C-alpha cells in the first residue's frame, strides 16, 4: 500500500482509509445495515473513478461548444407546440428554434453536441465519423436497449432540425458591437443505428457520417471548451447538474479571482442554465445546492459556494480538467 493510502480506526470502530477506494468499499465500510441499489452502487463506483483519474491527471478529455456551456438547452420536455427557447449570459444570448415535426432539443439531447464537438476536435474535421449508435451510448454510460436507441434517434432528429441563434453584444467606445450567428448543428447526416459496438461498418464500408454546419464547426474550433468525459458520463442522467458542471468548469477557468455571480435578475444564473422552470428563488436555491453537491462529489476542490444572502454564487479561479501529467 502506498503512502497515500494509510488505514486507521475511528472512535466508532469503523475501519477507514485515507486515499481513494472503490465506491462499493466506501459503502460497505459504513456502520449498520445499508441496502444500496445496483444503480447507486454503479454511480458510486463511477464517481470514485472520476476522482481517481482526476488525482492522477489522467482524465478522459472531451469538448463542449461555447453556446451550450454559457446558455443551457431546456432541462425538461417543452410543452406541446413550444418551439422557442431563449437563454442569456451577460453579453451572450442563445435562441433555439425547434423543428415543427420534432420539437426542441431537451434533457439528454444536450449530450449530442458534446459528442459531436469532441469528435470534431479529435478528428480535426468538419466531417466526423463514428462506428455505431452503441459507441455514443457507451461514451455516456447509457444502457444499450431498444428504448435508449429510440430515444437516440429522436434526439438526433431534434438536434438536426433545430436552428440556433447565438449572439454577442459588446460596448466599445460608445458604439455597440454586435456579432450574431444563426446556424444548424449539422448540414448533412448519414446515420445507422446498429446496436453492435464491434461492427465497425456495414457492407460497402458505410459508417455513420455527419457533416457539421460551417458555423457550428467554426465555433467549436475557435472556442473549444475542455471537459471531463467521465464526469459527463456520471451526470448524463441529471441534465441540470451536467449544465452546472460544464458552466463551472468554464467559469472557474476564466475567473481572474474570487467573483460573485448573481442567481436572479436579467443577468442571473437562473437565466443562463436551462432551468427556467424554477421561478421561485427558494426552489431554485434548493435545486442549486443539490446540483452543487453532485459537482463536488467529482470535483471536491470546486471553489463554488452560495453567498450568505442566498442571492449569489461565489466562484474562484480553478481547473476542473487538469493538464496531463500534472496537477
- pLDDT band of residue 320 (cuts 50, 70, 90) is very high
pLDDT, the chain, mean: 81
**pTM (two decimals):** 0.80
Given a cut of 50, whether residue 289 has pLDDT beyond it is: yes
Q: Which residue has the higher pLDDT, 206 or 11?
A: 206
Q: Are 59 and 230 contacting, i.e. CB atoms less than 8 angstroms apart? A: yes
Give CA angle at 125 (122, 126), nearest 5°.
125
Residues listed for the chain:
327
Q: Coil, strand, or helix at residue 166?
A: strand
What pLDDT is attached to residue 147? 80
What pLDDT is attached to residue 205? 58
Tell me 79's DSSP state.
P
What pLDDT is attached to residue 63? 96
Chain segment 146-187, per-residue pLDDT in tens: 788 888 889 989 999 999 988 876 444 343 333 455 667 878
Question: Given the C-alpha cell 452503441, which residue does it identify?
Answer: 134
Given a cut of 70, whether residue 120 has pLDDT beyond it is: yes
Amino acid at each position: 500500500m502506498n503512502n497515500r493510502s494509510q488505514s486507521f480506526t475511528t472512535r466508532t470502530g469503523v475501519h477507514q482509509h485515507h486515499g481513494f477506494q472503490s465506491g462499493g468499499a466506501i459503502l460497505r465500510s459504513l456502520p449498520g445495515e445499508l441496502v444500496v441499489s445496483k444503480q447507486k452502487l454503479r454511480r458510486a463506483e463511477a464517481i470514485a473513478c472520476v476522482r481517481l483519474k482526476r488525482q492522477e491527471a489522467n482524465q478522459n478529455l472531451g469538448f463542449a461548444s461555447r453556446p451550450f456551456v454559457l446558455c443551457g438547452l431546456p432541462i425538461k420536455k417543452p410543452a406541446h407546440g413550444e418551439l422557442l427557447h431563449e437563454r442569456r449570459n451577460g453579453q451572450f444570448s442563445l435562441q433555439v428554434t425547434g423543428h415543427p415535426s420534432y420539437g426542441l432539443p431537451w434533457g439528454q439531447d444536450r449530450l449530442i453536441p458534446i459528442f459531436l464537438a469532441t469528435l470534431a476536435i479529435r478528428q480535426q474535421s468538419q466531417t466526423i465519423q463514428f462506428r455505431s449508435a452503441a459507441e455514443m451510448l457507451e461514451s455516456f454510460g447509457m444502457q444499450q436497449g431498444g428504448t435508449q436507441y429510440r430515444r437516440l434517434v429522436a434526439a438526433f432528429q431534434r438536434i438536426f432540425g433545430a436552428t440556433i441563434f447565438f449572439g454577442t453584444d459588446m460596448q466599445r467606445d460608445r458604439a455597440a458591437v454586435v456579432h450574431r450567428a444563426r446556424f444548424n448543428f449539422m448540414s448533412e447526416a448519414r446515420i445507422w443505428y446498429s446496436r453492435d459496438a464491434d461492427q465497425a461498418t456495414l457492407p460497402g464500408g458505410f459508417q455513420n457520417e455527419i457533416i457539421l454546419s460551417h458555423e457550428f464547426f467554426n465555433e467549436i474550433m475557435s472556442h473549444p471548451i475542455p471537459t471531463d468525459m467521465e464526469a459527463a458520463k456520471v451526470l448524463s442522467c441529471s441534465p441540470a447538474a451536467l449544465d452546472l458542471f460544464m458552466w463551472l468548469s468554464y467559469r472557474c477557468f476564466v475567473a481572474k479571482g474570487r467573483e460573485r455571480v448573481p442567481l436572479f435578475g436579467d443577468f442571473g444564473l437562473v437565466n443562463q442554465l436551462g432551468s427556467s422552470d424554477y421561478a421561485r428563488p427558494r426552489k431554485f436555491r434548493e435545486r442549486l445546492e443539490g446540483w452543487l453537491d453532485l459537482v463536488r462529489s467529482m470535483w471536491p476542490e470546486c471553489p463554488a459556494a452560495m453567498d450568505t444572502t442566498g442571492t449569489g454564487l461565489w466562484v474562484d479561479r480553478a481547473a476542473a480538467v487538469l493538464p496531463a501529467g500534472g496537477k
